[in-house]
Protein backbone atom coordinates (compact mmCIF):
# COMPACT_ATOMS: atom_id res chain seq x y z
CA UNK A 1 0.00 0.00 0.00
CA UNK A 2 2.87 2.40 0.78
CA UNK A 3 4.45 1.87 -2.65
CA UNK A 4 1.09 2.46 -4.31
CA UNK A 5 0.62 5.70 -2.38
CA UNK A 6 4.10 6.87 -3.36
CA UNK A 7 3.29 6.16 -7.01
CA UNK A 8 -0.01 8.05 -6.77
CA UNK A 9 1.67 11.02 -5.08
CA UNK A 10 4.30 11.12 -7.83
CA UNK A 11 1.64 11.11 -10.56
CA UNK A 12 -0.22 13.97 -8.89
CA UNK A 13 2.96 16.00 -8.34
CA UNK A 14 4.38 15.47 -11.84
CA UNK A 15 1.09 15.51 -13.72
CA UNK A 16 1.81 12.35 -15.70
CA UNK A 17 2.48 8.65 -15.36
CA UNK A 18 5.63 8.84 -17.47
CA UNK A 19 7.13 11.69 -15.43
CA UNK A 20 6.20 9.87 -12.21
CA UNK A 21 7.99 6.76 -13.47
CA UNK A 22 11.12 8.82 -14.14
CA UNK A 23 10.94 10.42 -10.69
CA UNK A 24 10.61 7.02 -8.99
CA UNK A 25 13.08 5.25 -11.29
CA UNK A 26 10.59 2.62 -12.38
CA UNK A 27 8.52 1.78 -15.43
CA UNK A 28 5.41 3.63 -16.50
CA UNK A 29 3.33 0.41 -16.50
CA UNK A 30 4.39 -0.22 -12.87
CA UNK A 31 3.19 3.26 -11.86
CA UNK A 32 -0.07 2.75 -13.75
CA UNK A 33 -0.63 -0.63 -12.06
CA UNK A 34 0.08 0.86 -8.62
CA UNK A 35 -2.42 3.68 -9.10
CA UNK A 36 -5.07 1.34 -10.52
CA UNK A 37 -4.55 -1.06 -7.60
CA UNK A 38 -4.89 1.83 -5.13
CA UNK A 39 -8.12 2.92 -6.81
CA UNK A 40 -9.40 -0.65 -6.64
CA UNK A 41 -8.42 -1.03 -2.98
CA UNK A 42 -10.05 2.28 -2.01
CA UNK A 43 -12.98 1.75 -4.40
CA UNK A 44 -12.73 5.30 -5.74
CA UNK A 45 -11.53 7.03 -8.90
CA UNK A 46 -8.46 9.08 -7.98
CA UNK A 47 -7.48 10.39 -11.41
CA UNK A 48 -9.12 11.36 -14.67
CA UNK A 49 -6.84 10.07 -17.39
CA UNK A 50 -6.46 12.15 -20.52
CA UNK A 51 -4.12 11.69 -23.48
CA UNK A 52 -0.68 12.77 -22.14
CA UNK A 53 -1.93 14.19 -18.85
CA UNK A 54 -4.00 13.41 -15.81
CA UNK A 55 -6.19 15.46 -13.53
CA UNK A 56 -6.99 14.71 -9.93
CA UNK A 57 -10.59 14.02 -8.96
CA UNK A 58 -11.98 15.72 -5.84
CA UNK A 59 -11.67 12.46 -3.88
CA UNK A 60 -8.21 12.03 -5.38
CA UNK A 61 -7.21 15.41 -3.98
CA UNK A 62 -8.35 14.31 -0.52
CA UNK A 63 -6.49 10.99 -0.80
CA UNK A 64 -3.40 12.85 -2.05
CA UNK A 65 -3.35 15.14 0.99
CA UNK A 66 -3.89 12.24 3.41
CA UNK A 67 -1.32 10.04 1.62
CA UNK A 68 1.28 12.84 1.85
CA UNK A 69 0.75 13.02 5.61
CA UNK A 70 0.84 9.25 6.04
CA UNK A 71 4.02 8.85 3.99
CA UNK A 72 5.66 11.69 5.90
CA UNK A 73 4.82 9.98 9.21
CA UNK A 74 6.06 6.62 7.96
CA UNK A 75 9.33 8.11 6.70
CA UNK A 76 9.89 10.01 9.95
CA UNK A 77 9.18 6.87 11.98
CA UNK A 78 11.60 4.78 9.92
CA UNK A 79 14.29 7.46 10.20
CA UNK A 80 13.83 7.63 13.97
CA UNK A 81 13.99 3.85 14.27
CA UNK A 82 17.25 3.84 12.28
CA UNK A 83 18.64 6.56 14.54
CA UNK A 84 17.70 4.65 17.70
CA UNK A 85 19.13 1.42 16.33
CA UNK A 86 22.41 3.09 15.36
CA UNK A 87 22.65 4.73 18.78
CA UNK A 88 22.08 1.35 20.50
CA UNK A 89 24.72 -0.32 18.34
CA UNK A 90 27.27 2.42 19.10
CA UNK A 91 26.47 2.26 22.83
CA UNK A 92 26.85 -1.51 23.02
CA UNK A 93 30.11 -1.67 21.05
Domain with 43 in it: 2-92
Q: How many domains does the chain have?
A: 1
DSSP per residue over the chain, as a string? Answer: -HHHHHHHHHHHHHSSHHHHHHHTTS-HHHHHHHHHHHHHHHTS--EEE-SS-EEE-HHHHHHHHHHHHHHHHHHHHHHHHHHHHHHHHHHH-
Residue 13's nearest CA partner among 65, 58, 59 is 65
Q: Read off the pLDDT of residues 6-23 as tens digits, 9 standing for 90 and up.
A: 999 999 999 999 999 999
pTM: 0.85
CA dist., res. 62 & res. 26, Å (int) = 25
Q: What is the CATH number of the domain that holds 28?
A: 1.10.10.10
Q: Read off the pLDDT of residues 60-70 as tens digits, 9 standing for 90 and up.
A: 999 999 999 99
Q: pLDDT confidence of 90, banded at 50, 70, 90?
A: confident
Amino acid sequence: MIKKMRSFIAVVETGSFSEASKALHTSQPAISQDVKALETKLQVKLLDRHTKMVSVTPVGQYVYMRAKLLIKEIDETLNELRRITEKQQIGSG
